[in-house]
Structure 1
Amino acid sequence: MPFVSLHRFIACLLLTTFFCVSGWAQAGVVVIVHPSNANALSATDISRLFLGKKRSFPDGNEAIPIDQSDSSPIRAAFTETVLKKNEQQIKSYWAQQLFTGKGTPPKAVGNSSEVKKLVASNPALIGYVDSAEVDDSVKVVAEF
């Protein structure tokens, strides 16, 4: 009997360690804009922009969302956390929007560093990146 308890203890210890380490390894997702953009954005504003329900920043200037590639773990985190959808739901949503002529999905680029580079060069763009990618070339408007 003590052998079984020791096995359970070790198994629990390993699982706890795994979840702690995987939590440390997972970076946060931040939404970024050009440094000149003075707009404050709520999670709802961000969601509406990335779902094509809104096309401008609160100040009236054009807002162009940029997505990351389908294989990006940051995209998966953003989609679930901010858009409250899984990858299949977001694909279905955009298929319906395209079919009915109500909108097109944001342009998808490779990864966080590519999104950051594009956003830093264009005040109309809004994107999301791994929080570890942020520097002075962009402005963080939300953290998730």
Structure 2
Amino acid sequence: MKVYSTLLLLFGFCCPHHMAAAETIIVVANTSDKSIKLNRQQVRNLYMGGIMPYDLKAIALPPENHTRVIFNTKVVGLTESRIQSYWAQMRFTGRKKAPKEIKNEMSVLEYLQNHEGAVGYLLAGTPIPDGLSVIYTVR
């Protein structure tokens, strides 16, 4: 029992740091202007169809993807069901179109490399190819 308690104690002290690092999100763009840096509100506007000072097109991961859940929680600030409801209303009224969904993180990187102006989100630590730049980081 003492060994079990000690392991639990050690696990509790060492893992929150690793879990927090694993949940850091980076927003990556393919843009010729490498000086572009966005704040949280600008990224939220980009993903929710708001006004943007740059000509950027958001892409998203599918709703069941864990990275998307983290992104929605930390950046958009809405649950998946609220986001889906919002986009259903926007489609119905013909006002805005939801970001294009890409099946997984590797496909996001491939899409970004091939589409100038595209913006996607990934977990921090994902190797970013040359030509792409990180425009926002949220911990």
| TM band (smaller chain) | 0.7 to 0.9
Matches within 5 A, 1:24-35: 24-25=18-19, 26-34=22-30
User: CA offsets, 1:2-44, max 9 Å, x none?
Assistant: x9xx7xx929x62772584365152421001115233221211
Matches within 5 A, 1:77-116: 77-116=70-109
Tell me by how many angstroms 1:127 deviates: 0.9
Tell me by how many angstroms 1:63 deviates: 1.4
Q: Is the 8 A contact 1:67 1:127 kept in 2?
A: yes
Bigger Rg, structure 1 or 2:
1
Query: Could you say what the CA RMSD is over the residues aligned between the two structures, in angstroms?
Result: 2.6
Q: Is the 8 A contact 2:42 2:52 kept in 1?
A: no
Which segment drifts farther, 22-31 or 47-56?
Answer: 22-31
Unaligned runs of 5+ in 2: none
Distance 2:92 2:114 in 1: 32
Tell me by how many angstroms 1:132 deviates: 2.2
Unaligned runs of 5+ in 1: none
Count matched residues: 134
Larger RCO, structures 1/2 (Cα 8 Å, 6+ apart): 2
Taking structure 1 as the reference length, the TM-score comes to 0.78
Which SS does the other structure have where 2:134 is aligned? strand
Matched, 1:143 2:124: no
Which SS does the other structure have where 2:119 is aligned? strand
Which SS does the other structure have where 1:94 is aligned? helix
Which SS does the other structure have where 2:78 is aligned? coil
11, 18, 24: which one aligns with 1:17: 11
Q: Aligned residue for 1:43?
A: 40
Which SS does the other structure have where 1:128 is aligned? strand
**Pair 1:137–1:88, CA change in 2 (3 A):** same
What percentage of aligned pairs have identical amino acids? 24
